Amino acid sequence: MEHIRTPKVEQVRLLDRFSNKSASGTLHLTATHLIFVESNADAAQEIWILHHHIGSVEKLSLTTSGCPLVIQCRNFRVVHFVVQRERDCHDIYSSLLRLLRPVSYEELYAFSYNPKQNEQQREEGWQLIDLGAEFERMGVPCDQWQLTDVNRNYKICETYPRDLYVPITASKPIIVGSSKFRSKGRFPVLTYFYQEKKAAVCRCSQPLSGFSARCLEDESMLQAISKANHNSRFVYVMDTRPKLNAMANRAAGKGYENEDNYSNIRFQFVGIENIHVMRTSLQKLLEVVGTRSLSVNDYLLGLESSGWLRHVKAVLDAAIFLTKAVTVEGASVLVHCSDGWDRTAQVCSLGALLMDPYYRTINGFMVLIEKDWISFGHKFADRCDQLDGDPKEVSPVFTQFLECVWQLTEQFPQAFEFNEWLLLQIHEHVHSCQYGNFLANNQRQREELQLKDRTHSLWAFLLSEGQNYLNPAFCHTYAETHPVLEPSTLPCHLKFWRNMYHQFDRSMHPRQSVLKNVLTLKESNRQLEDTIMKLEAVSTLLTTEAWHQPPHPRPPEEAKKCCSDTERTVEGSSGSERKESYGDLQGTYGAKVEPAVVSLEFGVARMTC
């Protein structure tokens, strides 16, 4: 709280990003949020912005109407305030500057966030996902793959998890030797096992091969991976980088596998660009789509020149290549990039999503993220800029993964148990630092921070409101008929993800949501089925026992209102979603319950009577 100079500024105007509309209200600054409350009592909107979500604050030069303050958030919200007095504006500005640059993990919201949960519930939340059980589900350990304890103390590789799975024939010296030959010690380990063909998806970092170095242990390691699969005589090695980048790495003593040294590999570049290119690309894209009165041509040209969709396509193409190699050829595949925690995570997790229907369920998807991203050390803290760090380390790699998943959900509307809102909500919380799951860069750091004892798990929260994230079109038998998804990556089938990048620009979205409507109906169906059961029970009771029991039971009361509950409202026809508590606005915001972070209401209609 010591950083807050002015907790409240009145008569602040909020300008709409794309139109000339504005709203006036009061700005509150709390220890965790910046809150704007519109003063118009009829259609009062509230905007809650978590400090961690703020990517940048900019104070523009003074105008006649006041001092403009532009805030860009990591969830792609952009707000433009005009504060009447420059001093107030400056106070807010400098407070925010300090607040959005936490220097230690302890300052993050997750350590103070306290939902109404008891200790037991909190602990249970952390036990929801068990990666050991996940490997068992895949059929590992088995006669070819085993759990190794070499990294029990993070001695071999501090960015890997403790539990790792390797071929039976990979002895400890081979592992140690191989890890020394791999960037950051990230030696080849199992991440997914395709039981049907006993084919493995393994991941690692680039070899320290330079121009000519070789490592017998590393070669044996790949040999062991190959031998563990009797279906294929070779292993695909997918280097997810563009060839040029990989070659440039050789000068720094890194590089890629030389096919001559590895007896049974097939080496393949797939050409996904690095984190810097991705960062710039998304920045360009956001610049383009943030332009006011954008023309269609500038939009399309901007979409093209940003290259974003091209990168999305490259990632998807790589995942498809991986999937085909495993499911069609039955070959094992080793995936790497430079350090094996960005592109490798994308390709391995998307490949698994295409191959295994389990990952297309809500639980499975959480397991997938936990496995390929969290436990294998995708550097969330660095990539999402959780602490004041190196801006060059920041990159939307995980966002891009979520977008790839979204593209798949668009192509296969029946294949996924979850809907788009789950992806948006996960994205929101990767940046919110409200839950412990994504804090820090790897498991070792997370253990040091004792996150499981001190913070809450996002997965528990998401599951608690799981009905919001259900895809009503999900077909349970789809997994049997389409175990492996074969998406199209023809350019015309990849779309701009408006609901992500314009999540908060309500004027751009459809004014009525099919998804929301159908979800409501589905919920209503469930209630009606309930009611019918109860009514039928009463009815049987009445007919069979009427002779003996004159005072018959009443039909259940709650059943009566069910029918009227199912009426659907035209969205936006009422603006009263969250009006209840404006009475106590004078007080502090500390005690107030924070609204669900992603507002699931895309469609505030512009419909007029």
Partner 1 sequence: MEFAELIKTPRVDGVVLRRPFLPTVEGTLCLTGHHLILSSRQDNTEELWLLHANIDAIEKRFVGSLGTIIVKCKDLRVIQLDIPGMEECLNIASSIEVLSTLDSVSLMYPLFYRPMFQVIEDGWKSFLPEDAFKDLESMTEEWRLSDVNKDYSVCSSYPPLVAVPKDVDDDTLRKAAAFRHGGRFPVLSYYHKKNGMVMMRSGQPLTGTNGRRCKEDEKLINATLRAGKRGYIIDTRTVSVAQQAKARGGGFESEANYPQWRRIHKAIERSSILQESLIKLVEACNDQSHSMDRWLSKLEASNWQTHVKEILTTACLAAQCIDREGASVLVHGTEGTDSTLQVTSLAQIILDPACRTIQGFQALVEREWLQAGHPFQQRCSQSAYSNSKPRCEAPVFLLFLDCVWQILRQFPCSFQFSQHFLVLLFEHTYASQFGTFMGNSASERSKLNLSQKTVSLWSWVNRPQEVERLSNPLYEANCLVIWPSVAPQSLLLWEGVFLRWKRSSRCLDEAYDEMVHIIQYNKELQNKVNNLRRQLAQLETEEPLLQTP
Minimum CB distance to partner 1, residue 312 (Å): 8
Is 338 assigned a ligand-binding role in the annotation?
Answer: yes
73 classed as catalytic: no
State the first-to-last Cα distance of the chain, in angstroms, to the nearest integer.
46
Minimum CB distance to partner 1, residue 607 (Å): 4
Choosing from 67, 157, 215, 337, the catalytic residue is: 337
Is 583 assigned a ligand-binding role in the annotation?
Answer: no
Write down the residue that tokens 């602990």 correspond to: 123
Q: How many residues does the chain have?
A: 609
| Cβ-based nearer residue to partner 1, 112 or 305 | 305
Minimum CB distance to partner 1, residue 306 (Å): 10
Q: Are 302 and 284 in contact (CB under 8 A)?
A: yes
Is 275 assigned a ligand-binding role in the annotation?
Answer: yes
Is 343 assigned a ligand-binding role in the annotation?
Answer: yes
Is 202 assigned a ligand-binding role in the annotation?
Answer: no
Q: Are 68 and 51 in contact (CB under 8 A)?
A: no
| Cβ-based nearer residue to partner 1, 490 or 593 | 490
Minimum CB distance to partner 1, residue 350 (Å): 17
Write down the residue that tokens 């709650």 correspond to: 558
Is 342 assigned a ligand-binding role in the annotation?
Answer: yes
| Cβ-based nearer residue to partner 1, 454 or 534 | 534
Q: Which pairs with CB-CB distance under 8 Å and at least 24 residues apart come from 107-111?
A: 108/52, 108/386, 108/433, 108/439, 109/32, 109/50, 109/51, 109/52, 109/432, 109/433, 109/434, 110/433, 110/434, 110/435, 110/436, 110/439, 110/451, 110/454, 110/455, 110/456, 111/454, 111/455
Distance CA 100, CA 84 (A): 23
Is 385 assigned a ligand-binding role in the annotation?
Answer: no
Distance CA 596, CA 537 (A): 38
Residue 103 DSSP code: -
Distance CA 420, CA 427 (A): 11
Minimum CB distance to partner 1, residue 14 (Å): 19
| Cβ-based nearer residue to partner 1, 274 or 517 | 517
Question: Of 122, 3, 115, nearest to 51 (Cα)?
Answer: 3
| Cβ-based nearer residue to partner 1, 448 or 558 | 558
Write down the residue that tokens 């993964």 correspond to: 401
User: Which residues carry a binding-site annotation?
Assistant: 274-275, 337-343
User: Which residues carry a binding-site annotation for substrate?
Assistant: 274-275, 337-343
> Active-site residue numbers?
337
